[in-house]
Amino acid sequence: MELKAENISFYYGSWKIIDSLNFNLPAGGFMSITGPNGSGKSTLMKLIMGFLTPADGCFYCGGESLEGRRVEEKAGKMAYVPQEYVPAFGYTVFETVLMGRTSSFDRFGFESPEDRDIAMHMLKITETHHLVNRPLDKISGGERQRVFIARALARKTPVLLLDEPTSFLDMRHQVGIFDILKRLQMEEKKTIAVIMHDINLAIQYADYSLMFDGWGGIKIDTPENLFTEENIRNSYQVETIKASRDGIPIFIPAGRLSRSSQMKS
């Protein structure tokens, strides 16, 4: 399902965060959203979901305007994993993931065997099935993040929006989550937009990339064209060393006080 932004602008007070943003993420596309802290990435996600209202412009999903639509109305099309979750204390891991199926519960509020099977399947693919009966507040932050991703996947919506879904995860589980998302894109034609800080993962997994520069500017292109040493320097105010693997560029931050500078002195 296509996700489109048309002339989106947004202000915090007199500060313009987003200025006439346009993008067209085609059905089955995978878009990374990158940029420095505080540049507007999470704001963009909240605008799409309707938690914030744009000053100008409109979003479209599947060709239909999202203007004026309640969050509940969008839930059938889009699943959202925010950057920060307030844990639902008192619930088990399984109950939390099953909440992703509430829209399909019967009129008495009971889940079906299929709902339970889907919830368990999402626990398995996020490698959290061994936590099934654990209270949500008794697991680690990284485990909890994977549980919330499982809950979003259980919704089985055509569009997935994720705000830094791997921020609490170790390297293996970071790659594991992006492998899952890429598989959903390839096999189920999911449309996926992900806020992420790891440029190298964005290059590896995304088909399209949107980069905030922290000064009100936004660039959109393919990862190969967007992520250059110059663009990274302008956006993040950091120098990088460019390498490559199998023709795919890799960028390594070059710190001013790294071990190499220590050895030179």
pLDDT at 84: 67
Asked whether 63 and 6 are in contact (CB, 8 A), the reply is no
The answer to whether residues 228 and 197 belong to one domain is yes
The answer to whether residues 172 and 67 belong to one domain is yes
pLDDT band for position 264 (cuts 50, 70, 90): low
Q: Containing domain of residue 104, as a range?
A: 89-156
Task: Please report whether residue 26 resides in a domain.
Answer: yes
The answer to whether residues 28 and 42 belong to one domain is yes
The per-residue pLDDT for range 27-73, each reduced to its tens digit, is: 999 999 999 998 999 999 999 999 999 999 999 999 999 998 887 77
The per-residue pLDDT for range 141-166, each reduced to its tens digit, is: 888 888 999 999 999 999 999 999 98
Task: Please report whether residue 105 resides in a domain.
Answer: yes
pLDDT at 157: 92
Q: Which of 18-32, 79-93, 114-128, 244-258 has the lowest mean pLDDT?
A: 79-93
Answer whether 0.75 is exceeded by the pTM: yes
pLDDT band for position 246 (cuts 50, 70, 90): confident
The answer to whether residues 107 and 66 belong to one domain is no
pLDDT at 214: 75
Q: Which of 17-21, 242-246, 259-263 has the lowest mean pLDDT?
A: 259-263
pLDDT band for position 263 (cuts 50, 70, 90): low
pLDDT at 86: 62
pLDDT at 72: 74
The answer to whether residues 1 and 65 belong to one domain is yes
Residue 265 has pLDDT above 60, yes or no: no
Task: Please report whether residue 122 resides in a domain.
Answer: yes
Residue 215 has pLDDT above 80, yes or no: no
Task: Please report whether residue 178 resides in a domain.
Answer: yes
Residue 239 has pLDDT above 90, yes or no: yes
The answer to whether residues 228 and 203 belong to one domain is yes
Our count of domains for the chain comes to 2
DSSP for the chain, written as a single string: --EEEEEEEEEETTEEEEEEEEEEE-TT-EEEEE-STTSSHHHHHHHHHTSS--SEEEEEETTEE-TT--HHHHTTTEEEE-SS----TT-BHHHHHHGGGGGGS-TTS---HHHHHHHHHHHHHTT-GGGTTSBGGGS-HHHHHHHHHHHHHHT--SEEEEESTTTT--HHHHHHHHHHHHHHHHHH--EEEEE-S-HHHHHHH-SEEEEE-SSS-EEEE-HHHH--HHHHHHHHS--EEEEEETTEEEEEE--TT-HHHHHH-
Asked whether 138 and 132 are in contact (CB, 8 A), the reply is no
Task: Please report whether residue 136 resides in a domain.
Answer: yes
- Of 123, 156, 189, the residue at which a domain comes to its end is 156
The CATH number given to whatever domain includes residue 60 is 3.40.50.300
The per-residue pLDDT for range 98-148, each reduced to its tens digit, is: 998 888 787 777 889 999 999 999 999 899 999 999 998 889 888 888 899
Task: Please report whether residue 212 resides in a domain.
Answer: yes
Mean pLDDT of the chain: 90
Query: What is the C-alpha to C-alpha distance for residues 129 and 238, in angstroms, rounded to an integer?
Result: 40
pLDDT at 90: 80
